[in-house]
Amino acid sequence: MTKVAVVQMKADVDKEKNLKKILRFISQATSRGAALCAFPEFMMCYTPSSQSAAELANIAEKITGEFVSSIAKTAKENSIQVVGTLYEKSPKPNRVYDTSFLINKNGKIISKYRKIHLYDALGLKESRKLYPGSSIAKPVRTSIGKLGLMICYDLRFPEMARVLASSGSEILVVPSAWVKGVMKEEHWLTINKTRAIENGCYVIAPDQVGNIYCGRSLVVDPFGKILLDMKKKEGIRTVDISLNQVQQVRKRLPLLQNRRIDIYANLKI
């Protein structure tokens, strides 16, 4: 069994204030014996609708900037792995990448993923401020298992979770900022459980709470059992996961093996 920490936070509009909170959470995760600490999407700062694309672009940093470097330094000091997010500068004026990163216990960034599915749906339009990534990050080996990165709205696209699982992911970490709305919490619970069940993997989904977001940060096991639901409270919680569970479920319910990819491609669209 390995312990992971999930942070559910209410991000402030002040980037520096959020960073101080993030560094405290990393230390708390270490004190609780966690091997990895996972944070939600948009942890750098809350972006109200009144904030312009230019103002957000001005806040954004390179992944080598002070924000991520401070997190990497604290991860190294605490000998813990961290999954976090940032608004990353992009080549397009007044647009930023929504980027997640994985830092190992030595403080090195070992994976980076820029969100490819922008949330232009249900009355919101992320593309007014964000710039889409162009690739899926390959799963990477960590001390808790082989890990794949997704972000929030990506959950609604089963192809992405499937390609990560078929590429070796045993754990999907999905930093999120799930917006409140009619049936939105039901969608959130259902989709996280479904991605775990259909791929026989853990889904770790830290979420924003407060502002316009619904909370309910989750950890779901490979058979679809919710191991953690943080409801509406800001804070940090830990949960134990086991790769033996992934192996056992994939053996008993061999969905990845039973796929008929030899036939699927025959359907002409």
pLDDT of the chain, 269 residues: tens digit per residue: 999 999 999 999 999 999 999 999 999 999 999 999 999 999 999 999 999 999 999 999 999 999 999 999 999 999 999 999 999 999 999 999 999 999 999 999 999 999 999 999 999 999 999 999 999 999 999 999 999 999 999 999 999 999 999 999 999 999 999 999 999 999 999 999 999 999 999 999 999 999 999 999 999 999 999 999 999 999 999 999 999 999 999 999 999 999 999 998 888 76
d(CA 256, CA 39): 28
Question: Looking at the domain assignment, is residue 267 inside a domain?
Answer: no
> What confidence score (pLDDT) does residue 170 get?
98
Question: Looking at the domain assignment, is residue 263 inside a domain?
Answer: no
CB 151 within 8 A of CB 174: yes
Residue 244: partners with Cβ closer than 8 Å, 6 or more residues away: none
Task: Look up the CATH number of the domain holding residue 6.
Answer: 3.60.110.10
Residue 178: partners with Cβ closer than 8 Å, 6 or more residues away: 152, 184, 185, 188, 207, 208, 213, 214, 216
Question: Looking at the domain assignment, is residue 265 inside a domain?
Answer: no
Question: Looking at the domain assignment, is residue 84 inside a domain?
Answer: yes
CA-closest candidate to residue 84, choices 11, 153, 144 = 11
The residues assigned a catalytic role are: 41, 115, 152
71's tokens: 């997190």
Question: Looking at the domain assignment, is residue 53 inside a domain?
Answer: yes
The domain total for the chain is: 1
Question: Looking at the domain assignment, is residue 59 inside a domain?
Answer: yes
209's tokens: 């709470």
Q: Would you say the pTM of this structure is higher than 0.75?
A: yes
- Please list the residues that pair with 5 across neighbouring strands: 37, 238
Residue 127 backbone zone (phi > 0: left; psi -120 to 50: alpha; other: beta): alpha
Question: Looking at the domain assignment, is residue 240 inside a domain?
Answer: yes
d(CA 235, CA 209): 10
Element (H, E) at 84: strand 81-89
Residue numbers of the domain that contains 237: 2-258
d(CA 13, CA 144): 33
Question: Looking at the domain assignment, is residue 264 inside a domain?
Answer: no
d(CA 44, CA 66): 11
51: three-class secondary structure by DSSP: coil
Residue type, position 182, single letter? V
